[in-house]
Amino acid sequence: AQTVTQSQPEMSVQEAETVTLSCTYDTSESDYYLFWYKQPPSRQMILVIRQEAYKQQNATENRFSVNFQKAAKSFSLKISDSQLGDAAMYFCAYSLDNTDKLIFGTGTRLQVFP
Amino acid sequence: DTAVSQTPKYLVTQMGNDKSIKCEQNLGHDTMYWYKQDSKKFLKIMFSYNNKELIINETVPNRFSPKSPDKAHLNLHINSLELGDSAVYFCASSRRSLAEETQYFGPGTRLLVL
> Which among B74, B70, B41, B72 has a CA at the least distance from the CA of B56?
B74
Residue bearing the bigger pLDDT, A2 or B12: B12
What mean pLDDT do residues A58-72 have?
95
Q: In chain A, which residues touch B (CB < 8 A)? A: 33, 35, 37, 39, 42-47, 50, 52, 89, 91, 95, 97, 99-104, 106-107
Residues B90, B23: Cα–Cα separation, whole Å: 9
Average pLDDT over residues B23-30: 92
CB contact under 8 A, B41 and A35: no
Is B93 an interface residue toward A (CB < 8 Å)? no
| B45 vs A: CB within 8 A | yes
Q: Out of B41, B45, B107, name the one closest to residue A44 (CB).
A: B107
pLDDT over 70 (residue B113): yes
Judged by a CB distance cut-off of 8 A, whether residue B59 touches chain A is no
pLDDT at A95: 87
Q: Is B40 on the interface with A (CB under 8 A)?
A: yes
C-beta separation of A82 from A17 below 8 A: yes
Confidence at A109, pLDDT banded by 50, 70, 90: very high
Digit-coded pLDDT (tens) for B5-26: 999 999 999 999 999 999 999 9
Pairwise CB contact (< 8 Å): A89 & B42: no
Chain B residues close to A43, C-beta within 8 Å: 88, 107-108, 110
Give me the pLDDT at residue B2, please.
66
* E strand or H helix that includes residue A65: strand A64-69
Q: Across B19-23, B27-31, B41-45, B100-104, which has the greatest mean pLDDT?
A: B19-23
DSSP state of B113: E
pLDDT at res. B67? 92
Please, which residues have CB within 8 angstroms of residue B100's CB and are 6 or more apart in sequence?
none
Question: What pLDDT, on a 0 to 100 scale, did the predictor assign at position B5?
Answer: 94
pLDDT at A97 over 80: no
Chain B contacts of A95, Cβ < 8 Å?
Answer: 98
Per-residue model confidence (pLDDT) at position B103:
85
